[in-house]
Amino acid sequence: MVIDCHTHVGSHLGADGINRAAPGELSAEYETRTEIMDANGIDQAVVLPTYTYDKRQGAVGTRALNDRLKHLEGEYDRFCRAIGTVEPLHGDAALDELERMAEMGFEGVSWHHRYQGTAIDDPTTVSCLERAGELDLVPFVHAYQLYEAENFDHLENALEHTDGPVVVLDALTSAPNVERAIDLGQRFENVRFDTGMLYSLDNVVERIVDELGPERLLFGTAFYATPLQYRKSATLFQVETADVSEPARQRILEGNVSDLLDL
C-alpha cells in the first residue's frame, strides 16, 4: 500500500489572482489524478486545499471550502482523508472553525502561511496550533524555505507551543535545509517531515531514517492536477530505491500517515 500524504485539490494558479475557485466538481480532474496514481503505483491520497481560494467571503468562505473538502473524502474512493484549513487572521472565527472541523470528523488541519497573510509563529497561528492540539487535529504545516513566513526560525518558535504530532511539508528542499530539518527533528520529537519537494542528492531518505527514525518521514508529492505537475514521481522513486529496511520503507509509504490520521 502506498499513500500520498500531500496532494491538493483546486488550482495553484491563484497567487496572481487567477482561478481562485474552491474545489468543485472534480470528475474530469479525478480521472487525471487516478491515471497518475495508477501509473506510479499510488493507492490512496490525502487531499489538502489550495490556499489561494476566494477569501472575499471571510470565514463563511473558509467554512464552505472545508464542507466541500469533507464531501470529496466521501465522494471519491481514492481520497482516503481530507485535511481542511482555517485562516489564522480570522481570529476567534478560526478557533470556532477548528471546533466545527473536529465535530465533522476531520483528522487534521493545514496551513500554507505564505498564502494566508501571516507567519508560522504569529500569535494568531499559535492560538490555532494550541487549539488544534486540544482537539486532536494533526497540523500539516508548509515550511517552504524560499518564503520568509515559512522559514525554520518561524517554525521552531511555533513548535514551542504544541506537544502533539506536527507534519512539516516541503521542508527537505536543499542540502542546508535537510541539515536544519534534522537538527529541528532531533530537538522536537513530535515533528514529522514529508517528502514533497524532496532534495534529490545526499541520500536524504536514508539520513532521515538513520538520524531521526523511519516514523518521522511520510511519503508525499505535493501534487496538483491543475496544472498537472508530474507524470512520474521522482520522489516515489527515491523512497522505493533508498537503502533502508523494508519495514522502514513501508512506514514511510503508508504506515506513518495511517497511524496519524487513523486510517
Lowest-confidence region among 62-66, 70-74, 119-123, 245-249? 70-74
- Look at residues 129, 88, 84, 127 and name the one whose alpha carbon lies nearest to residue 107: 84
Q: Which residue has the higher pLDDT, 28 or 157?
A: 157
- State in words which class domain 3-260 has: alpha beta
Q: How far is Cα 40 from Cα 36, in angstroms, rounded to an integer? A: 6
Q: At what angle do helices 123-134 and 92-104 cross, to 10 degrees?
A: 30
* Average pLDDT of span 144-167: 95
Give the pLDDT of residue 14. 47
Q: What is the pTM of this model?
A: 0.94
Share of the chain above pLDDT 70, in %: 93
Residue 129: Cβ within 10 Å count:
26
For residue 142, is pLDDT > 60? Answer: yes
- Look at residues 83, 87, 79, 115 and name the one whose alpha carbon lies nearest to residue 101: 83
What is the residue-averaged pLDDT of the chain? 92
The enclosing H or E element of 61 equals helix 59-75
pLDDT digits (tens, 9 = 90+) for 194-209: 999 999 988 999 999 9
